[in-house]
Chain A
Amino acid sequence: MALLWLGPSLLLIAAVVVYPAIALIRASLGRYSITGLYGGFVGLQNYVRLLEQPALPAVVANTVVWVVTVVAITVVVSLGLAQFLNQRFPGRRLVRWALIVPWAASLVMTAKLFVWIYDYYFGILNHVLVRLGVLAAPIDWLGEDATVMGAMIVVGIFVSLPFTTYVVLAGLASIPDEVYEAARVDGASRWRTYRSVTLPLLRPALVVAIVLNVIYVFNSFPIVWTLNDRNPGFGHDTLITYMYKIAFKSAARDVGLAAALGIVNVLMILVAVAFYLRTVQWREVEA
């Protein structure tokens, strides 16, 4: 009987999780022609070749910078935003709704919008900064090697804020008023209350926000792809866009090699999340 009820879900899981995973593993062990035609089993050859790719170290470094910076800044800013949205003030409902917009908009559209904001000749950002005298001359934000990553990180944070803020907001709502009352009775300062009462009680929400954000940001394709599409080579790619380039947009054009990187990506994210949960002692939080 239980199986009857579980059946459809199990079927769905099999179709959208298990089957693709098996297909990916199989692809990573195979040789493929440029057309996508399967050319036979090659064992771990793709994995060995992957490690020989000269661009790989830079791409891994980019990925670490991208994920750590976006998630860290997002969480800090979200803590502030959530605190603000947790106050009662006229128009709060409107502000809360407005915050959802970057989340609801498609990532490609948001990224395209920022491409134009950053543009050297037409972009509003250069226009404003030059007018205000902050910059003497416009900057090619998406073309200069020094600024591309920063420009992408800003967009990454922008689209990650709504979700993170709402998770923190939910966490704040779950903190009972009594503990604040107790803190007040004990004469704790506001900052002390925040550090010793709010933050510890927000920990479950923060752990969830950080884990999910690490996964989302790591896997984020549209932002890096769209903002970086003008730049030749792999100097500003993350592992996800690099994987796509290996498969379709580089001299390699090799689906097997890209599948091997896909498997490595999954393992890396699993290890990173497991390591994180271990250091924050997730179990204790649960208990």
Chain B
Amino acid sequence: MNRRRVLTLAVGVVAMALASACGGGSGQTITVVIAEYSKDHTKPFWQGLAEQYAKQSNVKVDLRVIDWNSIDQQVSTMIQNNQRPDILNLNSFSSYAKDGLLYPATDVLSPKTRDDFLEPFLRGGEYQGALYGFPILSSARAFFYNKDLLAKAGVAGPPKTWDEFVETAKKIQATGAIGYALPLGPEEAQAEWAIWMWNNGGEWKAADAWTINSDKNVQTLSFLGDLANKQKVTQVNPGKTNRTDGAFQLFKDGKVGMVMGFSPLAAQLDKEGKVSYGVAEMPTNTGKSVTLGVEDYLMAFKKKDNQDAVKKFLDLYYQPENITRWITAEGFLPVTKSGLQQMSGNAKLKPYLDALPTARLAPTTDPAWDRVKVDVQQTIGLAVQPGGNPKEVLDQLQKNAQAAGGR
């Protein structure tokens, strides 16, 4: 490229930047940031909703669909630069509420919408007694097993207790397959850990205090370490295996007998048709099976003169036909009573819908959780590697959690 062309290009770029900075004209615009749940469904749905909204309200929507890997970073950058979104979809909310950035539900949701939320998700979105994190969708984990591998190992059905679980895993491993795929790598370790923790009677918190390093939890983490290093019934290096391209991939390929999955995994398995699988309750060590529910949120950011526009947008999304259409398309679970009713006929979703009322949520209502979560993701895998020390790892997590609460 010669110099003149470079210059022309430079002028063009600057002109374009200026134009887009001043662009838009007179009408109001709201920025809506949505996490990408799937390439096929997320953008089309929200684009459609935004168009419908623009027609009804005369407010334009700057829709940004961002993938999960970079959404934390991009949102943080937006807030640093004082370009907050008006509406944000994320898996955490309480830090934003704590910073005073959000509208409470009473300001931006109609009472009808609010009353439609399922009770556990309503509670899961509260910060200091007010609803700030509006449930957008939910999911629940379930225990997946490969029917063929279980039959080959001579096991009649999925294990109900931890003892049965270990026995089953050993028998599957003896056939040459992998007993259980345990993903404790950084991607989603806190979810896998929470399910094992709860099914041994452990907790993240008791009352208001963190109990990450309780004796129960040390016992649970040692149990997981033993699965890997003593019984050797897991895949190689479970502390360094992620969920999506690790554990799920092995299960989808028929290499592993058991894994903890959720409805999107079921959808992939159905599509590929390679593995004959069953879905069951989590094995438990306490007699009462517990699963993990995950709630994602919509938040409304306080900005000058945006309250009315934001309220209208949220009302539109929460119209039963809209929210249910999207959740169904993505393969997730409802967060509203009306949605639960509409989706209850779906046989495929039955195991998850049944689990939903008793599913436990992560302590997302505590702003410290946003730090605890990534800390667990980055460290807990080290405890199940050869030579790992569960007690030490949990002690450090506990210490960090307590410090995070003070900040």
Contact = CB atoms under 8 A, between A and B. Distances in A.
A233 B382 contact: yes
Given A12-B13, A35-B95, A35-B96, A230 B374 contact: no
A250 B375 contact: yes
Contact of A232 (B7, B75, B79, B377): B377
B239 interface: yes
Nearest to A30: B80
A234 B186 CA distance: 11
A128 to B, nearest CB: 18
B342 interface: no
Interface in B375-407: 375, 377-382, 400, 404
Given A121-B255, A253-B370, A247 B239 contact: no
Given A251-B374, A251-B404, A232 B186 contact: yes
B80 to A, nearest CB: 4
B395 to A, nearest CB: 14
B370 A34 contact: yes
Interface of B: 6-7, 10-11, 13-14, 17, 72-73, 75-80, 95-96, 98-99, 101, 184-187, 189, 235-237, 239-242, 245-246, 249-250, 253, 255, 367, 370-372, 374-375, 377-382, 400, 404
Contact of A35 (B11, B79, B246, B379): B79
Interface size for chain A: under 10, 10 to 19, 20 to 34, or 35 or more residues? 35 or more
B97 to A, nearest CB: 10
Nearest to A137: B236
A253 B240 contact: no
B10 A8 contact: yes
Given A143-B237, A253-B374, A35 B185 contact: no
A249 B7 contact: no
Given A35-B95, A230-B240, A250 B76 contact: no
Given A231-B240, A232-B240, A249-B374, A34 B186 contact: no
B237 A38 contact: no
A232 to B, nearest CB: 4
Contacts of B7: 5, 8-9
Contact of A230 (B6, B95, B186, B367): B186
B101 A249 contact: no
Q: What's the dominant secondary structure at chain B's contact region?
A: helix
Determine the main DSSP class of A at the interface with B: loop
Contact of A251 (B76, B184, B245, B400): B400
Contact of B80 (A32, A142, A245, A250): A32
Interface in A225-270: 229-234, 244-245, 247-253, 255
A33 B377 contact: no
A251 B370 CA distance: 8
Contacts of B374: 248-251, 253
Nearest to A27: B80
Given A35-B96, A38-B80, A249-B374, A140 B187 contact: no
A120 interface: yes
Given A230-B186, A232-B379, A12 B10 contact: yes
A131 B7 CA distance: 58
B76 A36 contact: yes
B220 to A, nearest CB: 17
A11 B17 CA distance: 11
A219 to B, nearest CB: 17
Nearest to B185: A230
